[in-house]
A and B are shown apart, each in its own frame.
Chain A
Amino acid sequence: MAPAAPGARDVAIVAFGQSDHRRSTDELSEVEMLMPVLHDVLAATGLKTGDIGFTCSGSSDYLAGRAFSFTMALDGVGAWPPISESHVEMDGAWALYEAWVKLQTGDCDTALVYSYGKSSPGSVRDVLTRQLDPYYVAPLWPDAVALAALQARALIDAGDTDEPALAGVATRSRTAARANPHAQLRGSVPHGDYVVRPLRTGDCPPVGDGAAAVVLAAGERARRLCERPAWIRGIDHRIEAHGLGVRDLTDSPSTRLAAERAGVFERPVDTAELHAPFTSQEVVLRKALRLGEQVTVNPSGGALAANPVMAAGLIRLGEAAARIHSGASERALAHATSGPCLQQNLVAVLEGDPR
C-alpha cells in the first residue's frame, strides 16, 4: 500500500462533480438528486456508463430510513445490462478506496465512484447515534454534536485551542466558501448560541442534502481523459479504538499513520482538503498532519460550508483533485473521516504532472 509499491499502477482522479448542497431536496428522490452529478463527470470525460469498468458507491440506509436504499440510486448509472458494481455503507471516500484497489488489480482501467446523502428526511443528530457501540453508548443517545463537544473541551483544556480560535476556523472556512458555488453556508455566519457547550451553531456543519461523483482512470487512459490528471500517489485509511474513553481525543494517531503510509510527509503539500465537520476537528487534524501556515486548508470551505453526510469525504478528494486539474495545486492532501470524534480516517496524496 506504500506509494512506491512495486507494480503499483498509476491511478488518477480525472473528473469530479457535485450537486448544490441544500437544507432540503424533498422534491427529488435520491436518484433524481444524484443523476445530474453522474452526468457531469461522464460529460467531462466523454465516457458513457457502458464504458465504465467498475462502479462503487457510498451511502447510508440509516439516513434514508430504508433498507437497501442504494439499489434505487443504481438506476442512475445504467445498471442494466449488469455492470461490475459495489457499495460501501460509508462515506464515498471509502468507495473511492475500494475502486482504487480494484484498479490496482488490473481488472479495469476506469471506475465511477459516487456517494450521496439526504439528511433532510430525518434528524441527523439522532440518526448518527445508531452507529455507536450498541452496548455501552448508543442506549444513552449521545448525538454527534455532543461527542464533538467533548473533544472540543478536551482540546481547550489541553491549551490546543479556545473558543475565539474555533470561531476563526468557522469564519475562514465560510469566507473561502464564497468562491464555491455548491456550498450551503457561505460568507459571514454568526458564531451563534451554544448547541452543546463549548460548540456553538457556527462551529457545527450545516445539515443538508447532496451528492458527489468522481471518475478514476489508470495510466495512459487517465492522460487521454483529462488534461492534467490528479494522480493518487498514496492512499491509506486507519481506525481508532471504538471506546471514546480509551482514546486521547486531542490527537488523531490514525490520521497520522494513514498520512505516513500515504507518503504525506515525504514532501510538503500546498493544499489540504480536511474533512472536519466541527471547527475543533480541524485543530486535531492540523496537528496530526503537521500542517503549517503555508498550506492552504479547505479552499472549498470544507464540511463547515457543506456537509452532505456520506458525500462530504468524497468531496474532499474531489476538491483536492479539482485544484490539481486547474493547476492551482501541485501536491494536495485529501482527508476523509467517519464515525464519532474522527474515529476513522482516510488520507490521500494527489499530484499533478510536473510542468
Chain B
Amino acid sequence: MNDSLFGSATRKNIIYFVIVGFCFILILQLFSMQILEHPEYAVKSEENSIKPVYQTAPRGVFYDRNGNILVGNKPSFTIRITPADYNNRLDKYIEPVIGVNPGFISKLLKENSSYSKYIPIKIKKDADFKIIAWYEENASNLPGVDYVIETQRDYSFGVSGSHMFGYTKEIGIDLLRQKKKEYDMGDNIGYSGLEKTYEKFLKGIKGIRYIIVNAQQKTIGSYNNGINDKSAIKGYDLILSIDKNAQEVAEKSFEGKRGALVALDPNNGEILAFVSSPQFDLSDFATVTSTEVWNRLNNDPDKPLFNRATMSIYSPGSTYKLLAATAALEEGIITPDYKITCQGGFQFGDRFFKCLHVHGTVNVITAIEKSCNTFFYQLILKIGLKKWAEYSHKFGFGMKTGVDIPEESKGLVPDEEYYDKIFGKGRFPKGILVSLGIGQGELSVTPIQLAQYAAIFASYGKTAKPHFVKGLIKSVTHEFIPITPEYFDVGVSKKTFDIVREGMYDVVNRAGTATNIRLPNIEIAGKTGTAQNPHGKEHSIFIGFAPFNNPKIAIAVVVENAGYGSTAAAPIARDVIKAYLEGNSKKVNENETYRQLLSNLIINKN
C-alpha cells in the first residue's frame, strides 16, 4: 500500500470536488427546470392529465310557417367501443346482441384503426332498450364498451319531406380530414337538403367536459369541479315557409305516383309545399344506414333518392305557351286583337304539326284557354329563337332558381348558340322552332322552375327566389333571425301580364282545359300541359295560382306518365291550393306576435 498516496489531501479534494460539483450540476438543472422552464412544464403537465370530452349538441329542429314541428329530435342510445380498453374476445358476445354479423366489430375497429385507440367508436346507434338493459347487467364483464345518450332525428310529425329536409350521415373519413377542426369522428353532418344547406346553423356547438385522466386514459374525475365545462348548445331551429297542412295534402296526393309538386307564395318566394315522389323514409338515415337499405334505395327503378322537384327535367309542354304569349305581347309582335284560324294543325314545309282540336278563330287569350297549338306554332316563328330564349332566361329557365337546398338542375333552354353547335352556324331547321312553341323539343325545365314561373304570372313579375327558410331561431336567446329573400322583377308590363293572366283564368273558369278543378269560392288560374315523353305515356303538368285577384299561392305539379294535365296534375294542384287557403284555421298573423309566439312555442316543445 502506498502510504504517501493513501487518502491524501489531493485525493480527498478530488472526491470533494466530484461530490460538490455533481450536486451543483443537479441544483442548476433543478433551477432551470423548476424556475426557468416551469411554465412550459406546467402546460405539459396539464395537457397530460386534462382531457376534453365532447358532447354532441342536439341539432336545430324544423318548424313550419305556423310553428308546427316538422322534424324534431329524440334521445337514442349509442353503444360504443374504446379500442384501447377492449378485448376482441368479447365480439362473440356482443355481436348477436346488437344484431350484426360475426366479424362486424373487428372490421369496424380495423377501419378506424388510424385514429387514437382512446377515442370511442360507435358500433350501434339507436340501440333498443333491451340492448341497454343487457349491457347494464353485464357491464363489469365488458371493458371498453359503454353507451351514450345522443339525440337523433325524429320524423314522426306526419310529413315526410324527405327531399327538402334531407338527411344527416356520420361524417366520412375524407370529409373529416378537411373539416377536422369542426368535426370529430362519429359526428353527424348534413348530407343533403336543408340539413346540408343550413348545416352550420343546425349543428349547434358541442359541449366540452374536462375530465382528469391518468396515464392509461382512465377517468379519475372532473377537472376543476366542472367550472371550465361548457354544456352543448343546441343548433338554430329553422322556421320553414312550408305549410304543414298543404304539405300533408300534397304528399297524400302523390301516394303511388311519380312526379313532383312545388307550391310557392308568389309574393315572396316562400315554398309552401314541396314533394318529390316517390319519397324515402328519412328515419332509415336517422341511425347508421345499413348497406341493404342504401342498395335498395339506389337500385329502385323509381329512383326515390332523386329529387324530382329540383333535379328532374321535363318538357314543360303547353304550360310554356304562356311564355311565348308574354314575349310576343311585350315585344309588340302581336296585339290582343291578333287572331288566327285553327283548322286542326299547321303546315310548315313538308311537315304538318297537329293541334288537338279544330279551334277556329283564336286570339291569344283563347289560344291559352284552349291550349291551341296552331296559334303558338305560328307565333314562335314570329318571335324568333333569340327573343324566345331571352324571355325564357328572364323567367328563370335554363338556370338554377337558387333554392336553398343543394340539389338542383339547370334544365335547358336551347338558344341559337346551342343549335349552332349541333347543326352548324345558322343552319338549324325551323321545324325545331315550331315544336319549341308548344314547349316540346330540347327545352327542359324542372318543377321548381315551373313553380317560379307560375309565381311570376301571379305577382306580375315581382317575386322572390324560391326558398324554404323564413328564418332561424337562436336556441339560447330564442331570438328570431329572419332571412331576407332575394327579390327580382322580370320587367314585363302589367298590361301584358293582364292579358296572359286572363287566358289563365279562362283555363279554369271558362271553357278551358282545366275547368274540372274549378272551386266555388276560390278563383284559380292556371295552365295545363302534357309533356311528350319518349319513354312512355305523357307527363301530366299543371301550373297555376290562386286566388286570382290576390294570389297567395302559385303552384307547379308534374305527374309522370299520367296523361293530360287536367286529369292528374290539375286536381292535385287544386287540393293543395284549397288546403293552403282554407284548411288552416290556426294560421298566425306574422306581423304581430310571430316572433314571440315562436319563442314560447320552442320553450314549450323542448
Co-complex (A, B)? no
Task: Give the interface of A toward B (CB within 8 A).
Answer: none
Footprint of A on B, CB under 8 Å? none
